[in-house]
């Protein structure tokens, strides 16, 4: 039945969280338009979560410059759960009186800058131990056709896809039919109690780059 369950999110599902945070949270245009949750130093996630945009990460798709020809910088976005930086293109940088961080999209671009090379830090828990820590919950392979419901709080809705499984007493016991999720992604990150030491490079939607992410164990996730 629908409800809130503890989950283990495989890398493909974690990718969706990182992608939406980059799109609506750490995009300087969204911040300047007051449509983002971002505030420097604001705690938005578990202390286990660190997220950066890093075009030099060899696990991803390294790139040295953006679509305006500006050199890419490594930009820490979340460090130990707290907001740190945002990404700029030349337009948002000029508004803020700072230098572009090298995150421009191809023109014409009404969406503002975007972190193409998101990289979430690994934890120290083997993936199998993440699953082993669930008394009763769900193993989520990926999310499909997700869309933003409320950008400022990063409430997202979409479907599970390509494998959803019941976990009981730390073991996968049965398949589950796909469910709709409607979840505040910041609340999900705040409820993370385990991060895998393995990371995987996953392609983001469309031209949104390669995202390097671990698997996550989340204490509560909403299936509607």
Instruction: Compute the distance between CA of residue 153 and CA of residue 186 in angstroms, rounded to an integer.
Output: 7
Instruction: Compute the distance between CA of residue 108 and CA of residue 88 in angstroms, rounded to an integer.
Output: 16
Q: By C-alpha distance, which of 220, 207, 204, 217 is closest to 12?
A: 204
Contact 145, 206 (CB under 8 A): no
Instruction: Give the per-residue pLDDT at 206.
Output: 60
Q: In this structure, what token pair is assigned to residue 115?
A: 């972190």
Mean pLDDT of 98-106: 95
State pLDDT tens for residues 29-87: 999 999 999 999 999 999 999 999 999 889 998 999 999 999 999 999 999 999 999 99
Q: How far apart are the first and last CA of the chain?
A: 9
Instruction: Compute the distance between CA of residue 81 and CA of residue 49 in angstroms, rounded to an integer.
Output: 5
Check whether 207 has a pLDDT greater than 90.
no
Instruction: Give the per-residue pLDDT at 209.
Output: 76
Which of 73-82, 145-154, 158-167, 201-210 is the least confident region?
201-210
Look up the pTM and report it: 0.94
Mean pLDDT of 195-216: 88
Mean per-residue pLDDT over the chain, rounded: 95
């Amino acid at each position: 039945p629908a409800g809130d369950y503890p989950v283990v999110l495989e890398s493909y599902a974690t990718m969706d969280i990182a992608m939406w945070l980059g799109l609506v949270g750490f995009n300087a245009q969204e911040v300047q338009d007051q449509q983002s949750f971002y505030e420097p130093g604001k705690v938005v996630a578990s202390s286990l979560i660190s997220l950066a945009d890093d075009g030099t990460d060899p696990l991803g798709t390294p790139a040295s410059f953006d679509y305006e020809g500006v050199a890419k910088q490594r930009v820490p976005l979340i460090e130990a759960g707290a907001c740190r930086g945002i990404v700029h293109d030349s337009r948002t940088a000029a508004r803020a009186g700072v230098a572009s961080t090298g995150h421009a999209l191809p023109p014409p671009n009404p969406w503002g800058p975007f972190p193409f090379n998101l990289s979430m830090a690994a934890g120290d828990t083997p993936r199998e131990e993440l699953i082993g820590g669930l008394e009763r919950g769900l193993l989520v392979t990926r999310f499909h056709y997700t869309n933003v419901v409320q950008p400022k709080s990063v409430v997202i809705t979409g479907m599970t896809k390509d494998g959803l499984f019941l976990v009981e007493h730390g073991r996968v016991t049965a398949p589950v039919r796909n469910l709709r999720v409607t979840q505040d992604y910041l609340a999900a990150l705040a409820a993370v109690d385990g991060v895998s030491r393995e990371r995987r490079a996953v392609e983001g939607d469309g031209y949104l780059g390669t995202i390097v992410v671990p698997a996550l164990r989340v204490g509560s996730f909403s299936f509607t």
